Chain A
């Protein structure tokens, strides 16, 4: 995860971060498969090891470059101010030369920062891959200061008629084939599209954010719900 100490344009990020399963043993989802909780972290880790070398290229191809605009939209909601401390979780490949970023490798379910230490928290295309969403939300709430904002950008659910059918076709027929062609890895991209379907829909995720203690929880759909930006305030 990257800790940002000064304001400026917000960059992409560090290595993918994985949650470790902790206390109880029960099943969770890995795409459409049911897997033991303790397996999910390792399996997700394998996916990201496999996709790392083509990560940025595949993101550009799959979204026709739109993922950059989506991240810009996320950043525009940050309202940065000088001296703010901002935490970005699930950092990706860490490309870019932003010198004001500080890197830490850690666990989104067990953050390594003090309570009430962050002015902002973002997680972009990461929360779908964690084992316990509630723990990640609880930790985000813990480290944010009062008045701090939580922002999550994630692939979400499309309900727009007709467009939904096109999107499903694109997801299940085109994406895995593209993964095979470009990255030589159909399975990882099959996991990608399945994990999107398994992630809670917008309203459900919003109520989970509220359950973690956040107020003024809202979300904005982009591209008919292909991605959604959820936000909440710690008051």
Chain B
């Protein structure tokens, strides 16, 4: 899909602006997310899933999440979508 690379978030590339990190929650568990600088992703500790940040935009569609114990395994919880995982 055509996509513009806006980086509107205050910290270019890495991290998240404070406002966003205060109100974002995991889309499935609705529990707080933790930012992981090493992988530039948002971690939902409640369900052990990480969500990527691409071009400064958090990608929090449930199917974008990856189960953390098994690397490169697409999240399958509550979904039968077999679209491939992007990293």
Minimum Cβ distance to chain A for residue B64 (Å) = 8
Q: Is A164 an interface residue (CB 8 A)?
A: no
Contact mask B59-83 → A, CB, 8 Å, 1/0?
1111110000000000000111101
Known: A104-B60, A106-B27. 9 other contacts (CB 8 A): A5-B19, A17-B61, A23-B78, A49-B2, A93-B2, A93-B4, A103-B56, A107-B27, A107-B60
Chain B positions within 8 Å of A, measured between CB atoms, are 1-4, 6, 8-9, 17, 19-20, 23-28, 30, 54, 56-64, 78-81, 83
Residue contact B1 to A48, C-beta cutoff 8 Å? yes
Contact A3 B20, beta carbon cutoff 8 Å: yes
User: Which residues of chain B come closer than 8 Å to A85, judged between CB atoms?
Assistant: 23
Name A97-119 residues within 8 Å CB distance of B: 99, 101-107, 110-115, 117
The 9 residue pairs across chains A and B that have the minimum distance between CB atoms? A52-B2, A110-B27, A112-B60, A112-B27, A106-B60, A49-B1, A105-B59, A107-B61, A103-B57
Instruction: For the complex, count residues of A whose C-beta is within 8 A of B.
Output: 37
- A15–B3 CB distance below 8 A: yes
- A112 CB to nearest chain B CB (Å): 4
Is the contact region of chain B dominated by helix, strand, or loop, or is it mixed?
loop
A113 to B61, CA, bound (A): 12
Chain A contacts of B17 at CB under 8 A? 102
Residues of B within 8 A of A112 (CB): 24-27, 58, 60
Number of A-B contacts (CB under 8 A): 86
- Footprint of B on A, CB under 8 Å? 3, 5, 15-18, 20-23, 38, 41-42, 45, 48-49, 52-53, 85, 93-95, 99, 101-107, 110-115, 117
Which of A21, A22, A93 has the most chain B CB atoms closer than 10 A to its own CB? A22
A157 to B80, CA, bound (A): 34
Q: How far is the CB of B34 from chain A (nearest CB, A)?
A: 14
**Are A105 and B57 within 8 A (Cβ)?**
yes
Contacts of A107 in B (CB 8 A): 27, 60-62
* Chain A neighbourhood of B57, CB < 8 A: 103-105
